[in-house]
Amino acid sequence: MALAVCVLFAAAVGAWQGWRNVTVDPPAPPAVCPLVRTEVFDRLVPAHGPPQVGEQNAPGMRSNYCLVKSTHIRATYLWVSLGRFGRHEGRGPRCVDRDGLQTVVNGRNHPLALGDSAVYFLAGDPATGRRINFSTCLGTYGVVVAYEAYDTADAAMVESAAAVAQEVLSWL
């Protein structure tokens, strides 16, 4: 009887340790550029060049981004990233469990109702380029939108970034 208990205990501890420390990469998320309508880029980044795409992967996470820059001297840009989470360091695959939301410690973070959770922060001066970093989670997906614009009200920037993030989430 005691031996059976010891064997069961060893099996449970062994299986838990094997499961807990493993890193599992998720399936690749869809390319994010096609998930944003061309009109959105046209409206938010006037006179923009062709979108630049790339991948940013980490243990237990895969993501790709789409960067659109204006060709004006005062260049605005819109950077959208779509990530998907697997398992790493005993956490995941839910985006909110994996630090999918980007925040700052030396500024104010504003929560917003979108997806499972969303937060944004603003930085910079409107005259020299105001930037918003908007991140949201939905299931195992995380969307990050970084948008820089000039002479634009904060409320309008938040609205624009939220619209882009919602646009990406709506196709998932």
Partner 1 sequence: MALNGPPLWALRPDDLHRPERSGHRLSPRQWLLVAAAVSLVIAVGIAAWNVGRLAAPALVGWQISLTDEFADAPPLPDLPVPATTR
What b/e readout covers 12-51, taking b as 16+ CB neighbours within 10 angstroms?
eeeeeeeeeeeeebbeebeebbebbeeebbeebbeebeeb
Q: Does 100 bind partner 1 (CB under 8 A)?
A: no
Quick check: helix, strand or coil at residue 118? strand
Q: Does 93 bind partner 1 (CB under 8 A)?
A: yes
Interaction mask 126-155, partner 1, x per CB under 8 A: ------------xxxx-------x-xxx--
Distance CA 21, CA 1 (A): 31
CB-based contact 47:68 (threshold 8 Å): no
Residue in 7, 28, 53, 123 binding partner 1, rule: CB under 8 A = 7
Three-state helix/strand/coil letters over 48-68: ECCCEEEECCECCEEEEEEEE
- What the block records as the tokens of 129 is 């380029």
Residue in 32, 33, 44, 101 binding partner 1, rule: CB under 8 A = 44
Sole window of 12-20, 50-58, 101-109, 127-135 interacting with partner 1 (rule: CB under 8 A):
12-20
Q: Does 101 bind partner 1 (CB under 8 A)?
A: no
Q: Does 18 bind partner 1 (CB under 8 A)?
A: yes
List contacts with partner 1 (CB under 8 A).
3, 6-7, 10-22, 24, 26-27, 37, 39-40, 42-46, 76, 84, 86-87, 92-94, 114-116, 138-141, 149, 151-153, 156, 159-160, 162-164, 166-167, 169-172
